[in-house]
Structure 1
Amino acid sequence: MRVITSSATLVEAVRPGINRPALEWTLSRLVVEPVTDAVARYAAALLTDAGLRGHKYAIDSVLSATALAAPGPVTVLTSDPEDLAALCGTRAIVIKV
């Protein structure tokens, strides 16, 4: 099993007060996928399909596109399950953490 995330999620994860060694340890166990042109275009299509737009959903859509491009089955762990479920539909299991 590959555990992946989008490089865009690092923007949300890194903040003042974060335990940087713990973050680096966690990231060393993940495959961090780049935000390519193809992923960005897929993310934009997911936003359109879900009727969403704007920066509020940008990183969620990139994470969704990254997850859905991976070989299935796909499970997405998130603190924002409603938005991720809207973006992924039935193509992924979304779990609140």
Structure 2
Amino acid sequence: MLFHVRMNVKLPASMPAEEAARLKQVEKEYSQRLQREGKWRHIWRIAGQYANVSIFDVDSVEELHTLLTSLPLFPYMQIETMPLCRHPSSVREDDR
């Protein structure tokens, strides 16, 4: 199942810089592992914002929920998800 996921991050201004840097590093490692596993198919930064648009390829809504809530920055995110399906006008034979 493919999902379009938008993540907006808002770290508290009171968070120490060292803690923010540590969380970002752990987040990066986790997201790159999911990308290598094929679960996090694409990620794009939204210019001028601390936000991204991503495509996830998971087996279920429950799996997506588990992956997203496991993100180290999850407590500081506003997340919007949209399930995706193939458009009948697509010229592609697969989802790559």
Q: TM-score normalised to the size of structure 1? A: 0.27
Q: TM-score normalised to the size of structure 2? A: 0.27
Q: Which has the higher contact order (CA 8 A, sep 6+)?
A: 2
Flag the structure with higher strand content: 2
Flag the structure with higher helix content: 1
